[in-house]
Chains A and B, each alone.
Chain A
């Protein structure tokens, strides 16, 4: 099974160091939470893994193959899928075309049955395949983004605050979607502020603060860690 290995990653934006010496692993089939206060560098890490920003030091590899010098579309084709903190769908395209675009890296196009199965997993089978994505309510847009990411059968799934803006019932449904992706063998890196969700789905949690890794462990260990309590409350 594939594994994401991030080693000694450093990211600089001009003179600002967003990440420094951060290492983490996401084994296939597991869910790893990435938490920390605002500005801790969580999204920067996802952007580095997906090739949107270039790290200034360190390495990123999936299954032993280096990702950190590849262009973004090559990284996606290697099996890395993501969702965005602010939903980024193909707004004027239909629900079906958004999911089809997500399967772009695979040979051929998804048939009607796999399309239906993907939408069912994201609880979107009722919205209508031909509806323009931009006309969906916010919660459904977020789920469509997840369906698009799953359509490519990713080896690594990066979720950037997927529960933001969802109601409690939708957040509970999201748990099953995330665990399902891991059951299929994908490694999932979950950036999230909703600690209940993190505790419910994550096997391990990594905590960032001011661009540095300050703790790692199971959700229960993290909740007791004095450095983490300090970072959030201090």
Chain B
């Protein structure tokens, strides 16, 4: 068991980080907003935590919190111009924001440009990653039957009717976006400090797509489903190695199957059984 874990520790770390990213996106999705800036929030926090650690000698805890708060702050500012956008328009605007963030990372003076930023202290291990994930999971579990969770679900189901019962839907949208950015930021800091080296390409559209597919496969309104979806899709390419060059096809094929036959994702299958 231990030998297995140490042989696959890189993959196990990756599963944890991808699960955290999927959970972070599921917060916005649960409020009904298709805001696709998670990879950008991840990148902002990754760079902030890397730069503060390398240049100012901050420890991981300080650097990660600083990075996550930076991502949350950027999300709060982003919420203002995108506040009136819904559906696919919101998706396009937030993808655009992701591209802006990536180009800034390539050209800003402190980031090391397209070649990437290296020498990040490698002070994150599997326990740190799963500790953060467990902390977030417990928080979400405790929040599941609160009025806040109800307000988020009502906003997703019918925004106008939600306002009609007294829910400040603008605040719900802002709150889920900022909280999601904070979690994506934690994932970004973990990623940077687990990998020693980051480049802007790590936080591009490809990453965002991967996070979104994990949420769709897991079930868009369930954080647990999103985490499971991420774990599944992270392991999948390793399992189908025998397909060689064709293994990239599998995640697309699975996305298609899920949309056609299980539109509520893994979480939906679970619920149907129950």
Contacts and interface: CB of A to CB of B under 8 A. Distances in A.
Interface of A: 50-52, 71-74, 76-77, 81-82, 84, 88-93, 97, 100-102, 104-105, 109, 148, 152
A222 B199 CA distance: 76
B160 A52 contact: yes
Q: Which 3 A-B pairs have the closest CB atoms?
A: A90-B157, A76-B166, A105-B166
Contacts of A74: 166
B158 A104 contact: no
B223 interface: no
Given A84-B161, A104-B147, A109-B147, A90 B153 contact: yes
A104 B168 CA distance: 11
A27 B120 CA distance: 69
B162 interface: yes
Nearest to A101: B154
Interface of B: 147, 150-151, 153-154, 156-158, 160-169, 221
B150 A104 contact: yes
A97 B162 CA distance: 12
B158 A89 contact: yes
Given A52-B160, A90-B157, A93-B154, A105 B165 contact: yes
A93 B153 contact: yes
Given A73-B168, A81-B165, A104 B160 contact: no
26 contacts: A71-B163, A71-B168, A72-B163, A73-B167, A73-B169, A74-B166, A76-B163, A77-B166, A81-B165, A82-B164, A88-B161, A88-B164, A89-B157, A89-B158, A90-B161, A90-B162, A92-B157, A92-B221, A93-B157, A97-B153, A100-B150, A101-B150, A101-B151, A104-B165, A104-B167, A148-B165
Given A93-B153, A93-B154, A104 B161 contact: no
Given A71-B163, A71-B168, 11 more contacts: A73-B163, A89-B157, A90-B158, A91-B157, A91-B158, A92-B156, A101-B154, A101-B165, A104-B150, A105-B166, A109-B147
A104 B151 contact: yes
Contacts of A52: 160
Contacts of B151: 101, 104
B160 A88 contact: yes
Give the one of B161, B162, B167, B221 with max A CB within 10 A.
Answer: B161
A58 B150 CA distance: 35
Contacts of A152: 165-166
Contacts of B154: 90, 93, 101, 104
A93 B140 CA distance: 18
B221 A72 contact: no
A71 to B, nearest CB: 8
Contacts of B165: 76, 81, 101-102, 104-105, 148, 152
B150 A97 contact: yes
A88 B153 CA distance: 14
A43 B165 CA distance: 18
Contacts of A82: 164
A47 to B, nearest CB: 10
A205 B179 CA distance: 49
A91 B162 CA distance: 12
Contacts of B153: 90, 92-93, 97
Contacts of A89: 157-158, 161
B131 to A, nearest CB: 32
